A and B are shown apart, each in its own frame.
Chain A
Amino acid sequence: MDGYLKIRGIEQKSSHGTSVLVGGLFYFQIIIFCDILEDIMEKTILIGGKAGQGTAVTSHLIAKIFCHLGYYVFNYRDYPSLITGGHNFNVISISDKPISSHKDKFDIILALDQKTIDLHKKNLNKGGIIFDGKGLKPIFGNNVLIGKLFKYFGVDKSPIFKAFEEEFKEKAEMAKTAIEEGYNSIEIKEKLVKNGKEKYLLSGNEGLSLGAIAAGMDIYIAYPMTPATSILSFLAKRQLEQNILVLQLENEIAVVDAAIGASFVGAKTMVGTSGGGFALMTESLSLAGMVELPLVIFLGQRTAPSTGVATYTGQGDLKFALNPGQGEFPRVVVAPGDAKEAIIRTQESFYLSSKYLAPIIILGDKHLSESSYSFDNIAKSSISNSRFILDKIPLNYKSYQITKTGVSPRLVPGQGPVVRANSYEHTDFGNTTENAEWIIKMNDKRQRKQESIAKETKKLNPVSIYGKGRNLIIGWGSTKGAIIDALPKLKNFRFLQISYLMPFPKEEVLKEIKKSLPAGRQAKKIILVENNSTGLLGDVIAEQTGFIIKNKILRYDARPFTAEYLINEIHGK
């Protein structure tokens, strides 16, 4: 590692060198050198303890300090559904190159209790080290371990103090004594140098929240449910600063209906929940489809049916997200792959929902929601923030005017003309009808909107392709991180990420599948990767394209994929 860091130092210097040509050549050589040795700085730290001991906060601080030092970080959070006791742990993987998943084996264990050592020692890498914090005072002890950890890595105290000051403001002083104590208790083992510019650290839920604010959201309504709850608290904290309203109502039914009511009068609204809450909302998903009003729903999946495994991840709700609600109506389902995509896809959701007056489901999971990702920068989309509400009042306004695109020009109550929303089948004025002609007209109008949406999502990168190779991995949502990290170690594989699942990007998916169909004597593989037990995306692809994927890597033990897990599985295929 030291050698590599030295080379990296020269590499950085070379850009300031006297000869651009020489610098360029040198850079080229380094790349080859690194490739051969695979000498990349990568460390994985596990921190574990009882719930209430501050595992999550401590891991966040460690991740933040590494980001300040310019390293890329991925922070995975694993905790049972209880308030105190039990066993919580975080796995932080750190690298000097982009990293988007955590590892199965650890270089360092920070143990806040004996259980952490008992459970995780077996996964300690050769030469790995355990920093034992048991017996130390609660929280104080966590900070002692942080001091030890960064001394071990030869990191100055100043970036540690800076992170604490940012996080705890004036209360940081108290922590400094503990950090000093840890810092002075061991010797420097390695010497980490700064790895370029500071990185951003962002969880999926923070990405969704930032996206909603960037989209000009007025109101967020929810009922607490893991893994969506932290959106509620994140946005609630910023209510005044961002001039938004954040509400918790009596249940998910009230949540979604209030969101639709607010939408009727012109507010941009979003709700967030998990599978159980979404089940209650489906009645009004159909309502939003029928009355044709914007609605953005975040559905954060967890594991298994019913209560399932409440604080763990899964991708078992794909077909549920695609199909709920009585009747046929246009809708969109989009699945962000990481925290940065969460920003962009949330903005797109508000845009599509406002423009096409249809419900949109942002389909995520606990792994996306609660893991922290690092980035060089976090940008928002430049997509329009328009409410798509007419400024000029038309004569003879009809709430459900029949148009070519299926989208009726929108007014809201208060602008003057009578505005109607009708859950019963209706005429263009919005009055109730059972007339056969109107029933057909209105159905066709709604279906035309689905076609209009499909034209639009085609332009919004409905699929992404990573890497090169004749073999193809297909996945969606949060599995992206582990797949991307596995790709460089797999021969001849590329990855197709499907982001828009409804309207389904049929042509784009089929094009990639065809490229990887065996031709002549050349064997090619197409492998489906999903965090569920039956391969739901595989079914959707079969329904949409007629192509049946036989090779599947499915994980349904409530844990997310890691790159090692995937590599092992793929080598076995």
Chain B
Amino acid sequence: MENKDLNTKEENTWCPGCPDFSILESTKRALVELVNENKIEIKNTAIVTGIGCHAKIFDYLELNSFSGLHGRVLPIALGMKIGNPKLTVIGFGGDGDTYSEGMEHFIHNCRYNSDMTMIVNNNQVFALTVGQPTPTSEKGPLKPLNPIALALTAGASFVARGSALDIEHLKNLIKEAILHKGFSFIDILQPCIVFHNTVPYFQKNIYKLDPIRDLTNSKEAMERAEEWDYCFDRDQKIPIGIFYKKERPVFEEQLPHNTWYTQKRKTDWQDLTKDFH
């Protein structure tokens, strides 16, 4: 399989130079490599998108796909996973999408630990509605939300931060996230070059976390998460990479049984109704 096999004929309407192009490229590379390594099957892969600039990826990937609602990527993805646990399910959301409209779903899905991946294109601004603040915006009197720290607290079993400015690094993160058994979360720093251009700051301050260290150390993960507060008023180091990774029982396996999705059942009406007689 090659990258071009995932191309569609749809016209791309992201702004020229938008880092969303890089996220698309990283995603394609990750999927193609995983297919070629026989780790996933493309026909059993499905994505869900929210609403916002990120969601246009729906039209640019030749994949089973569900363009959902603002904030509702995770419940739709969870439904797909329980409907057919054999599917590889990847959710794409924006920061407004995931951390504002869909916050309750984000916290609960970190808890549930269903075996799926959630990728957030975090540009710290509502771009498609031309520039309003989101929960991760640094401007104004409100303290920005730190999604990495939140995901760690809420119980996500794979927590990472990627940068749209580093396609290859991001590709590896997406691959690891998909392969991780459990709820994998990647917050991607994706500067909006029109409304929130943070490229120079990121170029100066981003550093890569050592991938070969104890990834199950939640205390260290939290310390790393707090190194940057999503503000730009002073220089702070911004770690990217995997903060935390530790397997724990996944949602699908903790259900009372594991055969409902086989859709095989023999209902004996007489037997079923005998309690009512």
A binding-site residues for B, Cβ under 8 Å: 67, 166, 198, 200-202, 206, 210, 213-214, 216, 218-219, 221, 239-240, 242-245, 247, 249-251, 253-255, 257-267, 269, 283-284, 287, 291, 378, 380, 387, 412-416, 418-424, 430-432
Bound form: Cα–Cα A253–B68 in Å: 13
Min distance, Cβ B143 to any Cβ of chain A, angstroms: 25
Contact indicator A291/B66 (Cβ below 8 Å) = yes
B residues near A214, Cβ cutoff 8 Å: 267, 269, 272
CB pairs A–B below 8 angstroms (11 shown): A216-B267, A218-B261, A261-B66, A262-B79, A264-B83, A265-B46, A265-B87, A284-B69, A423-B67, A431-B8, A432-B58
Min distance, Cβ B244 to any Cβ of chain A, angstroms: 23
Contact indicator A245/B255 (Cβ below 8 Å) = yes
Contact indicator A253/B72 (Cβ below 8 Å) = yes
Contact indicator B108/A254 (Cβ below 8 Å) = yes
Bound form: Cα–Cα A16–B79 in Å: 59
A residues near B259, Cβ cutoff 8 Å: 243
Min distance, Cβ A416 to any Cβ of chain B, angstroms: 5
Contact indicator A432/B59 (Cβ below 8 Å) = yes
Contact indicator A258/B276 (Cβ below 8 Å) = no
Contact indicator B269/A380 (Cβ below 8 Å) = yes
Contact among A202, A240, A418 for B62, CB-based, below 8 A: A418
The 10 A-B residue pairs with the shortest CB-CB distance in the complex, in nearest-first order: A261-B79, A262-B83, A258-B79, A257-B75, A413-B64, A267-B83, A261-B76, A265-B83, A245-B260, A254-B75
B binding-site residues for A, Cβ under 8 Å: 8, 10, 43-44, 46, 48, 51, 56, 58-59, 62-69, 72, 74-84, 86-87, 104-105, 108, 255-257, 259-265, 267, 269, 272-273, 275-277
User: Smallest CB-CB separation from A259: which chain B residue?
Assistant: B79
Min distance, Cβ B163 to any Cβ of chain A, angstroms: 27
Min distance, Cβ A280 to any Cβ of chain B, angstroms: 11
Contact indicator A264/B80 (Cβ below 8 Å) = yes
Contact indicator B276/A416 (Cβ below 8 Å) = no
B residues near A432, Cβ cutoff 8 Å: 10, 56, 58-59, 67
Contact A254-B260, Cβ < 8 Å, known A242-B267, A287-B68, A423-B68 = no
Contact indicator A419/B75 (Cβ below 8 Å) = no
A residues near B58, Cβ cutoff 8 Å: 420, 422, 432
Contact indicator A261/B80 (Cβ below 8 Å) = yes
B residues near A421, Cβ cutoff 8 Å: 65-67
Contact among B59, B104, B108, B256 for A239, CB-based, below 8 A: B256
Contact indicator B83/A415 (Cβ below 8 Å) = no
User: Smallest CB-CB separation from B61: which chain A residue?
Assistant: A418
Contact indicator B63/A418 (Cβ below 8 Å) = yes
Contact among A243, A254, A264, A414 for B262, CB-based, below 8 A: A243
A residues near B79, Cβ cutoff 8 Å: 221, 257-265, 269
Contact indicator B83/A266 (Cβ below 8 Å) = yes
A residues near B8, Cβ cutoff 8 Å: 431
Contact A261-B75, Cβ < 8 Å, known A251-B104, A267-B261 = yes
A residues near B64, Cβ cutoff 8 Å: 413-414, 418-420
Contact indicator A243/B273 (Cβ below 8 Å) = no
Contact A216-B46, Cβ < 8 Å, known A210-B273, A423-B69 = no
Contact indicator A201/B276 (Cβ below 8 Å) = yes
Contact indicator A243/B10 (Cβ below 8 Å) = no
Bound form: Cα–Cα A261–B78 in Å: 7
Contact indicator B75/A249 (Cβ below 8 Å) = yes
B residues near A387, Cβ cutoff 8 Å: 263
A residues near B68, Cβ cutoff 8 Å: 257, 287, 423
Contact indicator B84/A247 (Cβ below 8 Å) = no
Bound form: Cα–Cα A262–B82 in Å: 7
Min distance, Cβ B243 to any Cβ of chain A, angstroms: 24
Contact indicator A422/B63 (Cβ below 8 Å) = no
